[in-house]
Structures are given as structure tokens and as C-alpha cells.
Amino acid sequence: MSWLDAREFCRRLSDITGERFELPTEAQWEYAARAAAEPPVSILPNLADAAFLAPLAGQPLITGGVEHLWVDGEGAAPASHDDGHVVTAPVGVSGTDRLGLADMIGNAAEWTLSRYAPYPWIDEDGRNDPAALGPRVVRSGSFFDPPRRVSAAARWAYPEWRRVFNVGFRIVAPIVAREVAEAGRP
């Protein structure tokens, strides 16, 4: 899936529904990923927490009579972290977080609308302009990544045209005032 493919999906969905759909900005994605965890996290506190927060795939490996998972060729993780799927797991296999979102961390990494730019974050630098040239930000980790890279803080840059096998996307839409009122929010 490339960034251009994900944007085309949003455009077509917007055309069909008459509503505006888009990829989340990097800031929106990070807010959702960090705010959803209880307590909010920037990285997985330890490998034992990875299975709860992030679907990780792997191939069984026996070392010293103990079964482990070989993750991305970088080392062994406890076999208890196997989500039972060789690549991506069905959405929500690990449940949903306190915001009702599934798989913000792990399963598949995700494209954001934002152009890759170094920190510190400067919103006025044009990074969220879809027409801006340059590589785009991918966040999280995926089934292919070692646990140390499965994090709300993980970020990579890929050209917008590159199709990446372990990267997907999610979409955002503006909340309609009617929906907010129906939900009982101000």
C-alpha cells in the first residue's frame, strides 16, 4: 500500500459519501495512539506488554528446549506473544483500547498525511499539506517489526509512491455537530 493509494481511497470514499475523509496527520495519529493506552505510553514498557497492545507475528524457534518467536531476524520473543497469524491479524484481535480504537500499535504500520520532517514539531512548516513534496510519515510498528520498534513513538519516512508490504492506513473524518450532540457532549 502506498501513500498515494491510501489518499486515492480517501478521495473516492469522500466522493461516494459526500463527507470528507482523510489520512490522520502525524499529530492526530500520535495523540490517538498515546491517549488510548492506559496509562498513556510512548513505548511499550516491556516485552510482556507487547502482546496486549500489539499483534506480533513470528515463526516458532526452539532454543534450549523453550519455544520462542523469531521476530524480524533480530531475536527471540516469548512464544506467548504469538498472535496466531503469520502476517496481519484480523482487526481487533487484541481488543480495543479505552478510546475504542483497535491496533493503533502493531499489526500494520500506518501512513499519515504528514510529510516527514525532523522534530521539533512546527505545525506551520507545511508538513500537513498534502501537496507538499517529500517522503511521508509512517507510524507504529507492524507484524514484521521486532518488539523494540512496536511503539507509539516509532516513525519512518517512505516516498509517497512506494508500496510497503507491512504498511496500511486508517482514515479520519470530521465529527458532525449533530453526532456530538447525540453523544451528549458539549
Structural domains of the chain ordered from first start: 3-48+86-182 (3.90.1580.10)
Amino acid at 183: A
Query: Does the pTM exceed 0.75?
Result: no
Contacts with 169 (C-beta within 8 Å, 6 or more apart), sequence order: 1, 6, 9, 23, 110, 111
CB-count burial class (<10 Å; 0-12, 13-18, 19+) for 81 = buried
pLDDT at 49: 40
Q: What pLDDT tens digit does each residue of the chain (186 aa) get?
A: 999 999 999 999 999 999 999 999 999 998 888 875 555 444 444 444 443 344 454 444 334 444 444 444 444 444 555 566 666 777 777 777 777 887 788 788 999 999 999 888 787 888 999 999 999 999 988 877 776 777 788 899 999 999 998 899 999 997 765 555 566 655
pLDDT at 125: 87
Q: How many CB atoms lie within 10 A of CB 121?
A: 12
Kind plus residue range of the DSSP H or E element containing 167: strand 167-168
pLDDT at 69: 47
On the question of a cis peptide bond just before residue 39, with omega within 30 degrees of 0, the verdict is yes
pLDDT at 176: 63
